[in-house]
């Protein structure tokens, strides 16, 4: 796991991100971008920014600086996925962060990834996972494969981690971070190479 302090994309975007009108954390935005790319969209799809605005940014259009940050993240994250790698904006053991900050970042990445993976590349609409019943109904309609359903359930469980827990080891944290990355790379490979 790459230390956040060594993550070039994070450092090249975080200050501009903070100065822009993003409604969610940089980890949520990264997770969402990775999720929609993994689901089958590409950086050239204009739909991604619109989906982001609707689903993540509370229907608030991004400023020019925000669009520049979003576009930079989109292009760089797509490049990483093409190389089968994902460097999530998560704290490593080398980064100075509290357990609560680490777990919140983990939750945020999982939440963004879950929403992004829930978006179908179909321009006519979205499939947002609102409840277990809804997700099971969608999976049974062949809109979502059982494997993707399991992965969405895994991400959903990660979003529910107690950020105040003292029972979460660095090893657990790194395992879950690796699992999120693996889900994203696997779906990207399936949807872009085999899809």
The pLDDT mean for the chain works out to: 88
Q: Dump pLDDT digits (tens) for 64-87.
A: 999 999 999 999 999 999 999 999
Asked if residue 194 belongs to a domain, the reply is no
The pLDDT value given to residue 123:
41
Asked if residue 130 belongs to a domain, the reply is yes
CA–CA gap between residue 102 and residue 93 (Å, rounded) = 10
Asked if residue 193 belongs to a domain, the reply is no
The pLDDT value given to residue 130:
41
Asked if residue 85 belongs to a domain, the reply is yes
Containing domain of residue 40, as a range? 4-188
* CATH number for the domain that contains residue 103: 1.20.120.740
The pLDDT value given to residue 167:
85
Asked if residue 15 belongs to a domain, the reply is yes
CA–CA gap between residue 192 and residue 195 (Å, rounded) = 5
CA–CA gap between residue 21 and residue 63 (Å, rounded) = 7
The long-range contacts involving 64-68, CB below 8 angstroms and separated by at least 24 positions, are: 65/16, 65/19, 65/20, 66/17, 66/20, 66/21, 66/22, 68/16
Number of domains making up the chain: 1
Half-sphere exposure of 27 (CA within 13 A, CB side): 20
Residue 134 predicted with pLDDT over 70: no
The pLDDT value given to residue 73:
98
């Amino acid at each position: 796991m790459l230390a956040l302090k060594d993550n070039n994309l994070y450092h090249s975007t975080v200050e501009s991100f903070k100065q822009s009108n993003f409604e969610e954390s940089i980890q949520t935005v990264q997770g969402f971008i990775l999720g929609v790319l993994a689901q089958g969209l590409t950086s050239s799809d204009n739909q991604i920014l619109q989906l982001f605005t609707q689903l993540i940014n509370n229907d608030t259009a991004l400023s020019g600086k925000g669009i520049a940050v979003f576009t930079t993240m989109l292009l760089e994250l797509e490049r990483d996925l093409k190389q089968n790698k994902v460097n999530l904006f998560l704290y490593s053991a080398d980064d100075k962060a509290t357990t609560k900050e680490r777990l919140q970042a983990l939750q945020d990445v999982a939440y963004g990834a879950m929403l992004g993976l829930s978006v179908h590349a179909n321009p006519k609409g979205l499939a947002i996972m609102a409840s277990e019943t809804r997700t099971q109904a969608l999976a049974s309609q062949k809109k979502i494969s059982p494997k993707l359903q399991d992965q969405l359930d895994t991400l959903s469980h990660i979003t529910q981690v107690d950020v105040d827990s003292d029972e979460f080891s660095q090893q657990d944290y790194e395992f879950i971070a690796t699992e999120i990355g693996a889900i994203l790379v696997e779906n990207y490979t399936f949807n872009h190479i085999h899809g």
